[in-house]
Amino acid sequence: MMRMIRPSLVGEDEGLSDDRIAQVAIDFITFCYERRAAGWPSLYDEMCYVAGNRLYRGLGYEELAQAGLDFTLGGLGKTSRLVNEVTRRHHRAGAFAPAT
């Protein structure tokens, strides 16, 4: 089942301003971080687990790729920057407790 995904800009003043990322990708990263508050690359492992088992809203690798999350070797640079940006924003907003 394919879902329509509405892209949105991550932020004009941030490092990913030219990349269009769907809100669902940002929400997916947040979901994974809340499950396992870890840094990169451990968070990538959690994201792969969640996507592989479709634990977030039934979304797998294909749907998340359409939303702007690339789990391939060639896309890891962009994905890691996005993950760092999302977790940094949440830390700045006080949304997450520090990882122990």
Domain range annotation of the chain: 19-92
Sequence length of the chain is 100
Residue with the bigger pLDDT between 92 and 31: it is: 31
pLDDT of residue 95: 58
- Does 70 have pLDDT greater than 70? yes
When pLDDT is cut at 50, 70 and 90, the band that residue 89 belongs to is confident
pTM of structure: 0.71
